[in-house]
Structure formats: C-alpha cells, structure tokens
Structure 1
C-alpha cells in the first residue's frame, strides 16, 4: 500500500511516498481504509520542523485528520464492524475527561503516526462514527479544527444565543467557528485581509466582517459592529500580532480561547484588566473523543457541512502543503486517497 512519510531529501525534510506492507489489526484494533485526509497549519509547521521542539520527524506518517471505512477488525473488537464509516480522533488515547501527559503523547501526525496512508490500524477507541450525511472528504476535516472550535465555543466558552464572537482569519478553526456560531444563533464577526473571503463569510451568515489589511485598527471596527458592547468570545489563532487588538475588542465576562500563534505567541497579558472585566482565558489543544462525539451530534442536528476549499489527489500531497502555505484557502484543504 502507499503511504507518505517524512524523509530527508537533499538535506531538507520532505514528503516522500513509500510502498509499505499492509498492516494487520491486533487485539482490540481496527483496520481502516483511509479515503480522505485534511491539513491543518500544525502539519505545515511539523514539515518545516517548527513544531514540538523543532526536531525533524523523519519516518513519521503525517496528518492528524482522516476518515475512511473499516475493512478489518482484530480479536475482541466490539465497537466496529466491516463497512462502518469512521474518522480518527486527534489524540488516539484521549477518550474523555482531562488531558494528561499520556494523552498528549498520542497526537496523530506528530507524536505518533498520522493518517496520510491508504490504510491505518487504530485501537477501536481511537475512532468515532462519521455524521451520516457527510462525505469522507467532509468528515476528514473534523478531528483537529472542528473539535478545537467546538471546545473553544461551547465546552469552555459557554456560547449562547446573540453572543458576539470574534473570529480571526478564514482558516479551518475560524470557519468552523463561523458555522457553529451561526447555527447556535450567535453573532460572529470575522476578519480577513481579502475582501472576496469576507463576501463569502457574509454569505455563510457572518454578522460582521472586517478587513484587517485596509483597517489596521480593526479592533475599533469590531467594537463598532457590537455598538461598543464588545465581543464575548475570541478564537485567538493569530498570536502576538492579534491578541492585543482582540483584547481591546472584549466586552465584560468574555472568554478568550488561545488556539494558535501564527505570528508568534504573546508574552504579556494585562491580568489586571482581566480581573476587572471578568475575562477568562483558556488554552485549547483540540479535545477528546467525548468532545468529538458531542460536536458530531451538533453537526448532525443542524445538518452542517464543513467548508472544503480544495481537494488534491494523493499523488499531489506536496502541492496541498504548498497551497496551505500560500494562505489562499478558505476553510479546509483535503487530500483524497
């Protein structure tokens, strides 16, 4: 079978397709024919050795996200049958409850092998059932960005109807945040440097849009959209360049979900103002299988469909990474297997 691994080519880490033996499921394990995978910004950072300590991951199978069908089960499997449509969870061993060193050490595509392989073997607990109305390509977008946005808004943020939500950019997490917010009756405000992306966001139900390239003091426009009330939720994916402005757009009793740092991570936070305004800050590192299943129930109830910007064939996986690096996408980038 075909599988991508990181390897050193001409002195640099690169994606290399290899032919490997078909895996065999052991006790309590499931063999999955992967039909689609999707990229996250994390995957680009891992390729560039800029993630998790910066060490090259030679021999690692990349990508945390993927969906497919069960084609074999090992002894003792009770949760799955051949033909079931499943998606892999981001942390293969985080089933429920709080994270731990053990669960963090099971992050697919980083700490352990990921999904960019025609077949993978997983413990039966490391999978969830796909929402029945979704394609493999759509379901493959859920494990990282979807669960992250879900946890930030609902589990930790307590999203309620009419809440103002600030979403930075139009990548996977922010677009899931937009879809979830609209479905919940909240009022999402989204930023981008490209007007055509903002037009698309409005078509998807954004309450307000702001071009941060043409409006460098974009936090003022965000506050104006809220009639100076301020936002109640922030999905903070930008880092040190966006966090200070996002904080100036906050209302009282707000929640900031620290998700990523595209521009680096900010070191200074005004803790005094947080106390006075009742601001809560949570670091979000995806979530558990239990969280994934809760999100899937919401997606099924509201018949949501993830936004897939572009699908690449397996042979063009490197081009998919290049497209991610370009920043041209809105939503998710998928590789079909």
Structure 2
C-alpha cells in the first residue's frame, strides 16, 4: 500500500509517497481502507517543522480521514466491516477531562498518521459519520468541526440570542459560524477578503468586517453590539489578535483560544481581569463530543464547507494551497 512519509528533514518537498506492507488489525483494532482526508493548519506546521522541531522522522502526517472498516481484530464488537468511520483526533480521549496521556495519542503528530491507503486504529477511537455527507465532507470533521463544537456548544453553551465573533474563514471558524447559527446565535465574521466575507454572509453571518481595512476591529465589534460586546469569540489568531478580541468581548464574556495563526507575541492580561473574561484553551475534543456533534449535523443535514478536493497523490500541492491562505473552509483529499 502507499503511505506518505516525511523523510530526511522538514518541508513539503521532504514528503515521499512510499510502499509499505499492508497492516493487520490486532486485538481491539480495526483496519480502515481510506476514502478521503482533510488538512488542518497543524499538518502544515508539522511538515514545516514549526509545530514540533524535535519530531522523530520518518513520520506519516495527517490527523483527519474517513475510511471503510474492512477488517476487525479479536474482541471488537462495536464496529463491523462495511461501516464508514472517522478516527478521532486523540484516540485515547473518549470522554471526561483531557489528560497528558490522552494528548500523546493524537494522530499524525508522531504516532499513527492518516496519510495512507490503509490505516489501523483502536476500535474505541473511531466513530461512524453522518450518512448524508460525502466522504470528503465527512473527512473534515475530526479536528476542525469537533474543535468548534467543543468551543461553542460543549464548553461555551451557545444559545439563541447570543452573539459570536469568528476570526477568518478557515475550517474551525466556518464550523463555528454554522454551529452558532444552528443554535440561533448572531454571528459577526472577520476576514482580510471582501469576497470571503460575502461568502460568510451567505452562510448566515449577520455582519462582516475586513480587518485589513478596519485595524481597530475590536472597537467596531463593540459598535455593532451597541457598545456591549459579543458573548463568545472563536479566537484562532493567538497573540496577534487576542488584544482586539479582548476589546470585542463583553463583560463576563468568553474567548475560546484555539489557534496561533498570527504567531507569537505578548498580550496584556489586564482586560481579562477587568472584564471578568473567561479565556479557555480548546484542544480539539473527545469521542463523546464528536458523537454529539454528529447527531446535530445529521439532524440538521448540515454540510461542511469544502474549498477544494485534491487527489491523494497531490498532498504536497494541497499543503501548498493551504500555505497560500487563499482557501475558504476545508481542503480535502480523495482517493481519485
């Protein structure tokens, strides 16, 4: 079978498509014939060496993918051949609180990676995906969708009448927009592109802000909310945007800290104190969250936003497409 490996050093050009023996499931495991994959910014950071410069090579990247169960190991009863499933981001995080042990099981970061034609996973670490989704749509769920669900629904308890601020138009932000709308919340979206903002409005955002044209977008958000601020901020920028997010959030509001797309830096913590703001780090989510989210997606027939689908053999091109930052929503890969 064909497997992608990062060999000899970091960088997209170091990815190689190699032949490896077909894996077999041991006790408690399942064998998946992969159908589709999706990319996260973490994948690009891992390949470029900025996520973990001490990563042991060679390694197989990607955390997100959907496949068909083609074989099960001894003792597996919750799944059977023929089912279409996705691996969860951290196979050991089934429910409850996150622990250091659970984080070490994350896919595509040194342990099992999904960028292969066949993958063996723990049977407890996979979930069936909604029937109405295409393979490519379903492949976008394990990281970005679960992260947005965890931030807004599981921890944020978003409800009708709330106002949610989303930053950018990547996968997490657009899933957050969609989940907020399912909950009856108002969404204010930001982007550097008027064209992307128009598409966000089509998805249900009430207002859009071009942050290149409006440098003090945090203050503008307050003006859009009659000086009050938003209830929730889905913060994917990190230190470079957190100051504006703290200006935009209401007294006693919530910021879900998810990404570091704007890079590192220093942040004045005073507004967190003075505004009684809850800032919570969100590191994807558990299997229980994934299953609850799938139920809502199926009930509302919600469809993820897929920007472009590449072939499996075009993974380097897909990563370069992500690197350019022109995508709207998720980038996917398909078998053919």
Cα distance in 1 between the residues matched to 2:256 and 2:87: 24
User: 1:228–1:12: structure 2 CA closer, same or farther, 3 Å change rule?
Assistant: closer
Structure-2 residue corresponding to 1:330: 328
Shift of 1:13: 6.5
Structure-1 residue corresponding to 2:257: 258
User: 1:256–1:10: structure 2 CA closer, same or farther, 3 Å change rule?
Assistant: closer
C-alpha contact (below 8 Å) 2:242/2:267 kept by paired residues: no
Structure-2 residue corresponding to 1:302: 300
TM-superposition CA deviations, 1:135-181 (whole Å, max 9, x none):
11111000110011001101111111121111110001001001111
Structure-1 residue corresponding to 2:217: 218
Q: 1:1-337 to 2 correspondence within 5 Å?
A: 1-8=1-8, 14-52=14-52, 54-271=53-270, 273-337=271-335
Shift of 1:269: 3.8
What is the Cα-based RMSD across aligned positions, in Å?
1.5
C-alpha contact (below 8 Å) 2:69/2:82 kept by paired residues: yes
Shift of 1:10: 10
Cα distance in 1 between the residues matched to 2:239 and 2:29: 42
Cα distance in 2 between the residues matched to 1:294 and 1:269: 36
Partner SS, residue 36 of structure 1:
strand
C-alpha contact (below 8 Å) 1:46/1:57 kept by paired residues: no
TM-score (norm 2): 0.96
C-alpha contact (below 8 Å) 1:91/1:108 kept by paired residues: yes
Shift of 1:57: 4.2
TM-score (norm 1): 0.96
Cα distance in 2 between the residues matched to 1:103 and 1:134: 28
User: 1:223–1:323: structure 2 CA closer, same or farther, 3 Å change rule?
Assistant: same
TM-superposition CA deviations, 1:187-241 (whole Å, max 9, x none):
1111000110000000000011000011111112212221222111011110122
Q: Which moved more, 1:186-195 or 1:13-22?
A: 13-22
C-alpha contact (below 8 Å) 2:246/2:272 kept by paired residues: no
Cα distance in 2 between the residues matched to 1:274 and 1:9: 41
Q: How many residues align?
A: 335
